[in-house]
Amino acid sequence: MYDVALAFGDSITQHGYEYENSGWLTHFSARYARRMDILNRGFSGYNTTRAKQVAPLVFPIRKDALKKSTFAKRIESIKAMALGRRVLKKSKWPSRDGTFPTFNPKVQLCILFFGANDSANSRDGRHTPLNEYSENLRYLVNMLHDPESQHYSPDTRILIITPPAVGDKMTEEYFKDRGWKYNPHKNTVTKKYAEAAVAVARDLKLPFVDTWTAVERRVQGSRKRKLMLSSTEVATETTTTESNAEQSVKRAGLTNTDEYDGYDEYLVDGLHLNSKGNELLFKLVSEAINRNWPELRP
């Protein structure tokens, strides 16, 4: 087995393997072929609180921290889970199709990508208070970088990714169509969680990717350019029934996405990334790796 790059997150990470949506992790799998294996440990609906519960089964365990009896019991538990029998009561591994965790791979890079669910409305079961979210991120980092941890891995590089911006109109429509009485996601709230993730990364002197700001700036920039183009064109109809302003927007390579304020350029439902959003995230993560760990250049 090759060295490992571990991506630990929620559904945005889980969907990172969707090749039909240009999943961001599929790009890394291709770039790291015959160099590193990409382990996708993304769990839909998970927040940092639930991540802490399964983290002992996600992160490798130090060999010197394993007692033979404990190791044997855990291996048997994992095998049983692979066969569909649940024997772990406290930390239930979210297994499917016979998948199960492995022990002691050499993890060169760990990507922590949580916050989209933590930032949900307080009435939503996925919600995590902001200060607790920050502490949970620190806890996950310390599991790998604290010498007293059973998962201590000082050579593992850690990259924190913030949740992306949220398209409020898109999520409003998405959840309304599914019978929800309220929209659990708001962009202004998610922004606070993104800022908290950046603050944790800076405090721990870890590299980070601010996906919220990256998406937000591009959406707002696109809207401003479209407004400028529209204001400089004479609104006369052409033979194709398109106004000059609409033609200018297309010539500039911009998508006319006023219905959702431009967020549908990067998001599929207001929360998860579409193909363009996945490609943007791949670009941002690649730049962060190149800047901080050139030896791991994708």
- DSSP-derived 3-state class of residue 3: strand
Query: pLDDT at position 181, please?
Result: 85
Residue 63, pLDDT score: 75
Q: What is the pLDDT of residue 222?
A: 77
**What is the pLDDT at residue 87?**
42
* HSE-up of residue 221 (Cα within 13 Å, Cβ side): 8
pTM for the predicted model, two decimal places: 0.81
Q: Which residues of the chain have pLDDT under 50?
A: 68-69, 82, 85-90, 96-100, 102, 234-243, 245-246, 248-254, 256
- Which pLDDT value is given to residue 61? 87
SS3 content of the chain, % helix, strand, coil (to 5): 50, 10, 40
5 neighbors 41 (Cβ within 8 angstroms): no
- With 0-12 CB in 10 A as exposed, 13-18 as middle and 19+ as buried, what is 167? buried
Whole-number pLDDT of residue 248: 46
Q: What is the pLDDT of residue 76?
A: 59
Largest CA distance in the chain: 79
Q: Please report, for residues 1, 25, 28, 108, 280, the alpha-carbon distance to residue 100 in angstroms, rounded to integers and kept in the order given.
A: 16, 19, 22, 20, 30
CA 210, chain centre distance (Å): 11
Residue 241's pLDDT is what?
Answer: 46
